[in-house]
């Protein structure tokens, strides 16, 4: 199939940048306003009404060119660039906020879902990086975007390609939903077995958190661990950005030398230790160091919590700390004017329920089964991601 390269501007009836205006009064209900943060990674818009803001018709009428219609596209063009979404039927008539473009495709030339698919591809991402080279605040300017070439087959072929990519993307969406459901089910199991960890309706014994630990230690501060100490390989350092809610995020690793690690024996961490993040979003979150990390070091504001196995099971403790009710309770311990954090001293005093250890172990066995299922689902999702990206590459080369 032969593709023609058509300038982006020639494919669209209009490309409009939201005007810079201030003093907007929001109302409790009315016309929904699409913001960049509502554009999700899968190219859809968060439809949870609790996350929306609304403007009245008087405000909307002042700026009619920001009104969105079904199958228009919106794209973020400043800061986080290139997030793009297709407007669904239920948001026809919505408005948009700053740092977004409204892109109205010429439907006689381009199928909107084809253009949307292309704008989510790695090819288009590379183009955007090229036309927004700033290293401070990246910005896409409309005249530059209009000059970008888009590979375009006939309309019927566009529709066929979009349908194939939609089907592949739908499989990824189902796998992501299955993963989210697994975590929801485990939280439900926790509540069913132990009840609300704050109100403690089952009357479990309660203890201060540090009394359930064999070791409770913050990471090294100040000159003991600086950026200058980091190396390209060696002993991994667990930092705040690595502490996920129930998982260790290893996408951004940092290391120190074995020699420097040995100079900080108080901060040595091992598989099975819990690392508690005490700053960020949320201010309380915990993960367990996995078995494949033989040894590591925790950084400041990443509290090492090694449970006393006679009192506390590590899986129970981790899910307890990540429970939304526990997180809400712990937020009252936060201090700081700009960046809120929970000091280790305050965290130590957090009172938590401590059920019988045999009941905690039963929950831990459930966690093991959950992790096996999750690993299988994540492996499948990676396969589907690779398939989707392969299809994208072939589609826009005319090889599909």
Q: In a 10 Å sphere around its CB, with 0-12 CB exposed, 13-18 middle and 19+ buried, how is residue 237 labelled?
A: buried
Q: Specify the pLDDT at position 336.
A: 67
At the top level of CATH, the class of 205-354 is alpha beta
Within this chain, domains 4-152 and 205-354 share the same CATH topology: yes
Q: Specify the pLDDT at position 337.
A: 58
Cβ atoms < 10 Å from Cβ of 294: 10
Angle between the N-to-C axes of helices 155-194 and 357-395, in degrees from 0 to 180, rounded to the nearest 10: 180
Q: Pull the structure tokens for residue 105.
A: 């495709």
Q: Specify the pLDDT at position 20.
A: 66
252-282 in b/e burial notation, b at 16+ Cβ within 10 A?
A: eebbbeeebbeebeebbbeeebbbbbbbeee
Q: Specify the pLDDT at position 282.
A: 85
At the top level of CATH, the class of 4-152 is alpha beta
Q: Specify the pLDDT at position 309.
A: 96
The residues, any chain, with a CB within 8 Å of residue 362's CB and separated by 6 or more, are 193
d(CA 386, CA 32): 35
Q: Specify the pLDDT at position 22.
A: 58
Q: Pull the structure tokens for residue 398.
A: 């005319």
Contacts 24+ apart (CB under 8 A), 81-85: 81/128, 81/132, 81/138, 81/139, 81/140, 82/119, 82/124, 82/125, 82/128, 82/140, 83/36, 83/39, 84/39, 84/43, 84/116, 84/119, 84/120, 85/34, 85/39, 85/40, 85/43, 85/44, 85/45, 85/116
| Domain ranges (residues) in the chain | 4-152, 153-176+356-400, 205-354
Q: Block means of pLDDT (10 residues each) for the chain, length 400 residues?
A: 88 86 78 89 83 88 89 90 92 90 95 94 89 80 93 94 93 89 90 96 96 95 88 94 92 93 95 94 91 95 96 96 91 73 91 97 94 90 90 86
Quote helix, strand, coil % in the chain, to nearest 5. 40, 20, 35
**Model pTM?**
0.69
Q: In a 10 Å sphere around its CB, with 0-12 CB exposed, 13-18 middle and 19+ buried, how is residue 112 labelled?
A: buried
């Amino acid at each position: 199939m032969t593709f023609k390269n058509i300038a982006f501007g020639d494919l669209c009836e209009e490309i409009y940048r939201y005007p810079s205006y201030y003093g907007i009064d929001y109302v409790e209900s009315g016309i929904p306003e699409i913001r960049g943060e509502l554009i999700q990674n899968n190219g859809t818009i968060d439809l949870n009404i609790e996350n929306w803001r609304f403007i009245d018709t008087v405000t909307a009428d002042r700026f009619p060119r920001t009104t969105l219609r079904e199958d228009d596209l919106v794209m973020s063009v400043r800061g986080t660039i290139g997030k793009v979404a297709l407007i669904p039927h239920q948001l026809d008539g919505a408005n948009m906020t700053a740092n977004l473009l409204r892109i109205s495709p010429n439907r006689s030339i381009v199928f909107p879902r084809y253009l949307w698919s292309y704008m989510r591809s790695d090819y288009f991402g590379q183009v955007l990086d090229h036309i927004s080279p700033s290293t401070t605040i990246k910005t896409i300017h409309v005249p530059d975007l209009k000059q970008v070439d888009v590979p375009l087959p006939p309309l019927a072929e566009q529709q066929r390609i979009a349908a194939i990519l939609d089907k592949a993307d739908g499989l990824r969406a189902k796998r992501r939903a299955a993963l989210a459901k697994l975590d929801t089910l485990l939280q439900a199991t926790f509540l069913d077995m132990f009840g609300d960890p704050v109100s403690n309706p089952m009357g479990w014994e309660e203890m201060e958190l540090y009394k359930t630990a064999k070791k409770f230690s913050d990471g090294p501060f100040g000159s003991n661990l600086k950026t200058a100490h980091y190396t390209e390989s060696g002993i991994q350092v667990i930092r705040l950005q690595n502490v996920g809610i129930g998982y260790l995020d290893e996408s951004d690793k940092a290391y120190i030398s074995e020699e420097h690690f040995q100079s900080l024996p108080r901060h040595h961490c091992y598989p099975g230790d819990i690392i508690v993040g005490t700053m960020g979003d949320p201010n309380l979150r915990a993960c367990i160091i996995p078995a494949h990390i033989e040894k590591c070091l925790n950084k400041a504001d990443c509290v090492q919590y090694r449970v006393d196995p006679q009192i506390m099971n590590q899986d129970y403790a981790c899910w307890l700390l990540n429970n939304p009710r526990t997180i809400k309770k712990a937020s009252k311990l936060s201090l700081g004017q700009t960046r809120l954090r929970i000091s280790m001293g305050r965290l130590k005093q957090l009172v938590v329920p401590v059920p019988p250890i045999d009941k905690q172990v039963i929950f831990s066995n459930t966690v093991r089964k959950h992790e096996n299922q999750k690993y299988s689902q994540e492996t499948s999702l990676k396969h589907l991601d690779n398939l989707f990206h392969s299809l994208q590459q072939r589609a826009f080369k005319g090889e599909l």
